[in-house]
């Protein structure tokens, strides 16, 4: 076959945003080598520019009529576009908040940016991967970069320890995931594309076989590790405490969004025969995550650990949309992840700012902060209250939509549990807010009493301020002006062809995705 | 591969016994160096299995990468962290191996049942055999092109990251520039009071609670 | 020769790997156990590739990818172990308790 024909079949234009990210990371890596250490002044802005142009390129991908590319390895439908946008945006905000942090910790800037961009790349590819090998490689790109970022402050024993635990648990969960995947490959008669697997399983009458159930459970174990759902959450608090804070900001949003994108695509495309079973498994995960995350968060004394348990609980809430299995359910997941991006990253920006100025992240040290730094107090309060779901902030509308979608789908028990645990969660979020606005001078903590003068003109502080204000504005306005986001989330679901037949759970109509079979025969 | 059926069965038996034996040695032997060498035995027997499965290219890759790279890397790591240390004994140390052993045997029973009861859709086609290497190449440049390219980014990043983490930086430990309030290459957050960096001795006391 | 023999062998190797993963106290041995797990997966894939998919042999391609990635993962893991050994002077998993589980 000639080259033009091959290029047309590859449909390589669909990975233009990822191409931009790859070029950016090479520019950052090589630029640092050529220019030397002085390059760290402008490298972060190169990375941000690259990510923003990747988001612009994603905008052009919207409503692509021919989304399947690379012979079915990658599917650039609207669902993947919106998840890739979420991941790229979270990486952008993470870079804004990390510049000062990296400088102060004395680590190399360029390598941090490169590894973070690689993690972003892995997440973006994972959102669109529709073939087992592609899923595996992009998942590992994301995971290995995350291990490296976690251990990035290598002189700190806590960071080493977090990286080691993350790597060992992560590699083990990858192995379990792969075992499930290998069973899928065997059961479907040697297929690796998700849609072909569904067809293969259907024709092999493997519907209720033990092997398929085992493979489902193993695959879900791998996914649950990525989205840190209980009982696969053990790594989360340790990694959140030991890793550099910008890294966990990215892990809590970008990596989690990629995990959810994988969950939606893999479950709806490859396991339509086992819809009841995977709904049941995810219900159990959601119940455990909501209860464990919210209850254990009550007992935490450091901010980073509290946010870790809070992120476990949030994963439980988001899973309600997945279990609902309707268009509204998936759209509510996307909507919640969009608002979660801003409120969680805003919260982490505040935690970073506070720890840079005082060198601690104990919750008790926040007391009386209102008198010294009103902007930080305001921003952290808004973000935490939004995470708790207080109206009229963005998180409230996100939760309402999730619960409404769950209620419509008949998940009454799950929604009620969600409501109860939300009340619990409001308690521990409010506790921090109450502590910050405390008035009595004798209750003001030492860290706040020695609070340095607020200076935004230090190197690297301006981008942190930009990120802070951006997430503050987005969190407070996205609630009131949520309609565009809402429409975006809904359109991304209704325009995704692979999701539509899966919702009515019929396998036969999916064969058309499979037309671009390999041409090697 | 036109070995007679009997030869195949016998070599499968030998390889299987060798693989299980060496794998048990890897996890059970107290001396880590023996474990590392036995791991090479596991890799070699698996490469032999691949030959029985008509996959000579992957068998060669298994020997080159797993034994030539991974196993040597593990041996290097053992030598670099070469401190003969006797781990402090834990209270109730026998509970975890016994419990885990039971769970593993149960898992094997489950997986074994699954393997035996599932009607696998065996193919009647002849295997690709010697042309496998051409087929693998064609796969790499057609339907697996995207993962193939992404793997190159992954390898680049793993290399960069591993060098960063493993490189020994000679920092003047206590000399800090006046603008930096914290020791270099650490988190800005102070560690919690209840744990100190040199907790190796003191933490032995509370080890038993997690036995 | 039957498919089931290979699958049973892979399952046994997988369970040995799980046992080593949980019981090992040396961090390097935990990494070795993970290698065992992944070799079990590879054996599974290769067996399926030979008996179920002998013409397209996608399983062999998958195995090559797994081998590649796992080499990278082992390198990263050993780098992390070296870093932690420099700071803590031990590779005993039970001593890594600065962060409570």
State mean pLDDT over C39-57.
Answer: 94
Determine the Cα–Cα distance for residues A70 and A174; give it in Å rounded to an integer: 24
DSSP B62: I
Q: What is the 3-state secondary structure (H, E, C) of A144-165?
A: HHHHHHHCCCCCCHHHHHHHHH
Peptide bond before A428: cis, by omega within 30 degrees of 0? no
Distance of CA B99 to the CA centre of its chain: 23
Q: Could you tell me which residue, A176 or B81, shows the higher pLDDT?
A: A176
CB-based contacts of A483-488 (< 8 A; 24+ apart in sequence)? A485/A335, A485/A338, A485/A339, A486/A335, A486/A401, A488/A82, A488/A334, A488/A338
pLDDT at B174: 47
Give the pLDDT band of residue B192 (cuts 50, 70, 90). Answer: low
Mean pLDDT lowest among A132-141, A410-419, B43-52, B81-90: B81-90
Does pLDDT of C100 surpass 90?
A: no
Best of A135, A163, A168, A238 to mutate (most C CBs within 10 Å, chain C): A168
CA distance C43 to chain A (A): 10
State mean pLDDT over C5-14.
Answer: 96
Cβ within 8 Å, pair C56-B42:
no
Cβ within 8 Å, pair C86-B168:
yes
Does pLDDT of B172 surpass 70?
A: no
According to DSSP H, which parts of chain B are helical?
5-28, 32-52, 56-61, 72-80, 95-117, 132-141, 145-166
pLDDT at B119: 87
pLDDT at C11: 96
Residue A16, number of CB atoms within 10 A of its CB = 16
pLDDT at B193: 53
pLDDT at A497: 80
Give me the sign of the Cα torsion angle B86, B88, B94, B98.
negative
Instruction: Classify A11 as helix, strand or coil.
Output: coil
* Structure-block tokens of residue B120: 């696998």
User: Nearest chain A Cα to B151, which residue?
Assistant: A137
State mean pLDDT over C78-86.
Answer: 92
B133 to chain C, any CB pair closer than 8 A? The answer is no
Determine the Cα–Cα distance for residues C60 and A452; give it in Å rounded to an integer: 60
pLDDT at A428: 93
CA distance A40 to chain C (A): 24
Distances (CA, A) of C70 to A140, A244, C32, C41: 9, 25, 11, 12
CA distance C32 to chain A (A): 11
pLDDT at B59: 95
pLDDT at B196: 39
Q: Which residues contact B98 (CB under 8 A, 6 or more apart)?
A: none
Determine the Cα–Cα distance for residues A72 and A498; give it in Å rounded to an integer: 12
CA distance A245 to chain B (A): 8
Residue B202, number of CB atoms within 10 A of its CB = 10
Residue A455, number of CB atoms within 10 A of its CB = 8
pLDDT at A40: 85
Determine the Cα–Cα distance for residues A163 and B32; give it in Å rounded to an integer: 22
Residues of chain A in Cβ contact (below 8 Å) with chain C: 132-133, 136-137, 140, 144, 147-148, 151, 154-158, 160-165, 167-168, 171-172, 175-176, 178-179, 182-183, 185-186, 189-192, 234, 237-238, 241-242, 518, 520
Domain locations in chain B as residue ranges: 1-82, 130-172
**End-to-end C-alpha distance for chain A, whole angstroms:** 12
Which of 170-189 (B) contact C at CB < 8 A? Answer: none
Of B154, B171, B181, the CB nearest to A137: B154
Beta-carbon-side half-sphere exposure of residue A154 (alpha carbons within 13 Å)? 26
Distances (CA, A) of A323 to A225, A271, A315, A402, B187: 17, 13, 12, 11, 39
pTM for this structure?
Answer: 0.92
User: Nearest chain A Cα to C46, which residue?
Assistant: A182
> What is the pLDDT of chain B when averaged over all its residues?
82
* Structure-block tokens of residue A460: 């690297």
Residue A387, number of CB atoms within 10 A of its CB = 28
Determine the Cα–Cα distance for residues A177 and A194; give it in Å rounded to an integer: 15
Cβ within 8 Å, pair C51-B210:
no
* Structure-block tokens of residue A59: 């905008």
Q: What are the beta bridge partners of residue A69?
A: A74
Residue C94, number of CB atoms within 10 A of its CB = 15
Give the pLDDT band of residue B181 (cuts 50, 70, 90). Answer: low
Peptide bond before A392: cis, by omega within 30 degrees of 0? yes
CATH class of B1-82: mainly alpha
pLDDT at A131: 93
Q: What are the beta bridge partners of residue C92?
A: C26
Cβ within 8 Å, pair C34-A136:
no
Does pLDDT of B200 surpass 80?
A: no
pLDDT at B179: 47
Q: What are the beta bridge partners of residue A129?
A: A74
Residue B172, number of CB atoms within 10 A of its CB = 7
Q: What is the pLDDT of residues A3-34, one digit of tens each?
A: 777 777 788 889 999 999 999 999 999 999 99
Determine the Cα–Cα distance for residues A408 and B178; give it in Å rounded to an integer: 61
Instruction: Classify C97 as helix, strand or coil.
Output: coil
Q: What is the pLDDT of residues A186-230, one digit of tens each?
A: 999 899 999 999 999 988 877 678 999 999 999 999 999 999 998
> What is the pLDDT of chain A when averaged over all its residues?
90
Cβ within 8 Å, pair A360-B190:
yes
Distances (CA, A) of A396 to A336, A347, A476: 10, 16, 11
Mean pLDDT lowest among A5-14, B147-156, B177-186, B199-208: B199-208
Residue A211, number of CB atoms within 10 A of its CB = 22
Residues in chain A where the model's pLDDT stays below 50: 502-521
Which chain A residues are Cβ-neighbours of B147 within 8 angstroms?
A: 73, 131, 133-134, 136-138
CB of A142 closer than 8 Å to CB of A194? no
**Which one, of A413, A401, A425, lies nearest residue A291 by Cα?**
A425
Distances (CA, A) of A52 to A17, A56, A225, A466: 10, 6, 29, 15
Q: What is the pLDDT of residues A416-475, one digit of tens each?
A: 999 999 999 999 999 999 988 876 777 788 888 888 888 888 888 999 999 999 999 999
* Structure-block tokens of residue A515: 């037309």
């Amino acid at each position: 076959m000639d080259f033009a024909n091959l290029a047309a079949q590859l449909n390589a234009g669909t990975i233009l945003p990822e191409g931009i990210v790859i070029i950016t990371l090479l520019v950052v890596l090589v630029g640092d080598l050529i220019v030397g250490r002085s390059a760290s002044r402008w490298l972060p802005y190169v990375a941000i520019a690259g990510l923003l142009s990747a988001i612009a390129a994603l905008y052009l991908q919207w409503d692509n009529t021919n989304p399947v590319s690379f012979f079915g390895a990658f599917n650039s439908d609207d669902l993947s576009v919106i998840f890739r946008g979420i991941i790229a945006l979270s990486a952008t905000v993470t870079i804004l908040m990390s510049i000062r942090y990296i400088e102060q910790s004395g680590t190399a800037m360029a390598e941090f940016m490169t590894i973070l961009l690689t993690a972003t790349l892995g997440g973006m590819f994972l959102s669109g991967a529709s073939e087992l090998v592609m899923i595996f490689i992009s998942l590992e790109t994301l995971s290995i970069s995350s291990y490296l970022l976690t251990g990035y402050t290598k002189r700190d024993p806590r960071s080493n320890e977090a990286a080691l635990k993350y790597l060992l648990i992560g590699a083990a969960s990858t192995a379990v995931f792969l075992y499930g995947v290998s069973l899928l490959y065997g059961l479907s008669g040697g297929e690796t594309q998700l849609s072909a697997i569904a067809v293969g399983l259907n024709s092999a009458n493997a519907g209720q076989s033990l092997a398929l159930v085992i493979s489902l459970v193993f695959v879900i174990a791998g996914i649950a590790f990525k989205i840190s759902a209980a009982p696969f959450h053990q790594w989360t608090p340790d990694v959140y405490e030991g890793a550099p804070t910008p890294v966990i900001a990215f892990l809590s949003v970008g990596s989690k969004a990629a995990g959810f994108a994988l969950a939606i695509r893999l479950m709806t495309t490859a396991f339509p025969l086992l819809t009841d079973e995977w709904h049941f498994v995810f219900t159990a995960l959601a119940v455990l995550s909501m209860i464990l995350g919210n209850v254990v968060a009550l007992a935490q004394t450091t901010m980073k650990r509290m946010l870790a348990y809070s992120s476990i609980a949030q994963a439980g809430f988001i899973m309600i949309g997945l279990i609902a299995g309707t268009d509204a359910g998936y759209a509510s997941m996307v909507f919640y992840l969009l608002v979660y991006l801003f409120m969680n990253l805003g919260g982490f920006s505040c935690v970073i700012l506070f720890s840079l100025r005082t060198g601690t992240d104990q919750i008790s040290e926040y007391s009386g902060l209102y008198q010294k730094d009103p902007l930080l107090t305001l921003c952290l309060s808004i973000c935490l209250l939004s995470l708790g779901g207080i109206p009229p902030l963005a998180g409230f509308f996100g939760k309402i939509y999730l619960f409404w979608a769950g209620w419509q789908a008949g998940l009454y028990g799950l929604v009620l549990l969600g409501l109860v645990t939300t009340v619990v969660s409001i308690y521990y979020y409010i506790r921090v807010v109450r502590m910050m606005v405390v008035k009595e001078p004798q209750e003001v903590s030492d860290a706040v009493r020695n609070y340095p003068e607020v200076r935004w003109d230090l190197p690297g502080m301006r981008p942190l301020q930009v990120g802070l204000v951006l997430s503050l504005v987005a969190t407070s306005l996205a609630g009131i002006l949520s309609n565009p986001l809402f429409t975006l989330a809904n359109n991304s679901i209704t325009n995704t062809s692979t999701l539509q037949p899966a919702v009515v759970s019929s396998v036969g109509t999916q064969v058309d995705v499979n037309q671009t079979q390999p041409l090697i025969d | 591969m036109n070995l007679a059926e009997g030869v195949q069965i016998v070599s499968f038996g030998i390889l299987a016994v060798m693989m299980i034996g060496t794998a048990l040695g890897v996890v059970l032997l107290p001396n880590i160096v023996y474990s590392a060498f036995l791991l090479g035995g596991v890799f070699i027997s698996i490469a032999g299995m691949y030959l029985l499965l008509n996959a000579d290219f992957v068998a060669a890759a298994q020997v080159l990468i797993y034994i030539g790279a991974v196993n040597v890397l593990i041996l290097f790591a053992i030598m670099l962290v070469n401190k003969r240390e006797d781990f402090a004994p834990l209270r109730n140390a026998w509970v975890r191996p016994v419990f885990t052993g039971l769970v593993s045997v149960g898992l094997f029973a489950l997986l074994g049942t699954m393997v035996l009861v599932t009607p696998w859709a065996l193919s009647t086609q002849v295997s690709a055999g010697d042309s496998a290497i051409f087929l693998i190449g064609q796969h790499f440049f057609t339907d697996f092109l995207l993962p193939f390219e992404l793997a190159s980014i992954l390898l680049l990043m793993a290399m960069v990251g591993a060098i960063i983490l493993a490189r020994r930086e000679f920092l003047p430990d206590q000399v800090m520039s006046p603008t930096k309030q914290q020791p270099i290459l650490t988190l800005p957050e102070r560690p919690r009071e209840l744990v100190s960096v040199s907790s190796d001795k003191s933490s032995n006391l509370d080890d038993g609670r997690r036995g | 020769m039957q498919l089931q023999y290979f699958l049973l062998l892979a399952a046994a190797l997988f369970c040995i790997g799980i046992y080593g993963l949980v019981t090992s106290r040396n961090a390097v041995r935990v990494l070795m156990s993970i290698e065992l797990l992944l070799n079990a997966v590879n054996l599974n894939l290769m067996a399926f590739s030979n008996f179920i998919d002998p013409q397209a042999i996608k399983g062999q391609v998958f195995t090559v990818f797994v081998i590649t990635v796992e080499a990278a993962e082992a390198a990263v893991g050993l780098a992390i172990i070296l870093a932690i050994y420099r700071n803590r002077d031990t590779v005993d998993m039970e001593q890594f308790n600065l962060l409570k589980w």
